[in-house]
Chains A and B, each alone.
Chain A
Amino acid sequence: MITTTKGDMDEVLLEKREGSVDNDNETTHWVEYWIGDELVHRSAHVYLKTSVFATSEIGEI
């Protein structure tokens, strides 16, 4: 069953579309379910490749 804007629906009743983005910053996969031309479900999963990085410096005495 897929959670949709119309409640839980059997996947066979829906058109599934998937896609992904892979670049230096992230790998993202998304999945959509449609009824005709109406989007009723969209999920996305993001894997960040770049983390937050800080360098430390100390002052000269």
Chain B
Amino acid sequence: MANTQAMTTSFKSEIMAGIHALGTSVVRAGTGADTVKAAIYLASATVNAATTAYSVTDEASGSGYSAGGVTVTNAVVPTSTGTTAFWTPSANITYTTVTLATAFDAVLIYNSTQSNKAISVHTFGSQTITAGTFTLTMPTNDASTGLLRIA
């Protein structure tokens, strides 16, 4: 046997599960899963890896759409396969009977329990919706396609 330098796989999934608090000012008190939400952003917006929190600036708006977006169904525990940790919402993200007339092309996933802190940005071809439904179909929750993966 030989020792191997690594970030442990368990740590990767435990980051997503909020097990570790390495900061000097730990503010987390809750023990349950946080509420995760998904907000739609206009094609003219700038949401990216530098985005730190949800903002109404350049968020989509229109009939049937509430600022802040929709709550993401989260009934799965972050887990890992091999050396990759992953997490995927347990249901598709759906905006039902909305009219979003201005083109949009991104969804921000964020943690509404933790001061709306940003988690991830997902982009797609520009869309508009007219009295219809916009659905983001979730990928298979595994190490190859899970929505969030840390390897």
- Mark out the residues of chain A between 1 and 30 whose CB falls within 8 Å of any chain B CB in the assembled complex: 3-5, 21, 23, 25-26, 28, 30
Which residues of the partner chain B approach A58 to less than 8 Å between Cβ atoms? Answer: 5-7
Tell me, yes or no, whether B129 is within 8 Å of chain A by CB: yes
Q: Are B149 and A3 in contact (CB under 8 A)?
A: no
Q: How many A residues, CB 8 Å from partner?
A: 31
Which residues of the partner chain B approach A49 to less than 8 Å between Cβ atoms? Answer: 139, 145
Q: Are A5 and B130 in contact (CB under 8 A)?
A: yes
Tell me, yes or no, whether B91 is within 8 Å of chain A by CB: no
Q: Which of A31, A32, A46, A54 contacts B149 (CB 8 A)?
A: A54
Closest residue of A by beta carbon distance from B134: A44
Closest residue of B by beta carbon distance from A39: B130
- Mark out the residues of chain A between 29 and 54 whose CB falls within 8 Å of any chain B CB in the assembled complex: 30-32, 39-49, 51-54
Q: In the docked arrangement, what's the CA distance between A31 and B128, Å?
A: 11
Tell me, yes or no, whether B131 is within 8 Å of chain A by CB: yes
Which residues of the partner chain B approach A55 to less than 8 Å between Cβ atoms? Answer: 150-151
Smallest Cβ distance from A2 to chain B, in angstroms?
Answer: 9
- Mark out the residues of chain B between 95 and 151 whose CB falls within 8 Å of any chain A CB in the assembled complex: 97, 99, 120-125, 127-137, 139, 145-151
Q: In the docked arrangement, what's the CA distance between A26 and B123, Å?
A: 9
Smallest Cβ distance from B108 to chain A, in angstroms?
Answer: 12
Q: Are A53 and B149 in contact (CB under 8 A)?
A: yes
Q: Are A51 and B131 in contact (CB under 8 A)?
A: no
Q: Are A51 and B148 in contact (CB under 8 A)?
A: yes
Which residues of the partner chain B approach A26 to less than 8 Å between Cβ atoms? Answer: 124-125
Point out residues on B near A: beta carbons under 8 Å.
5-7, 12, 88, 97, 99, 120-125, 127-137, 139, 145-151
Q: 25 A-B Cβ contacts within 8 A?
A: A3-B97, A25-B123, A28-B124, A31-B132, A32-B130, A40-B131, A42-B129, A43-B129, A43-B135, A44-B135, A46-B124, A46-B134, A46-B137, A48-B124, A48-B136, A48-B139, A49-B145, A51-B148, A52-B122, A53-B149, A53-B150, A53-B151, A55-B150, A55-B151, A58-B7
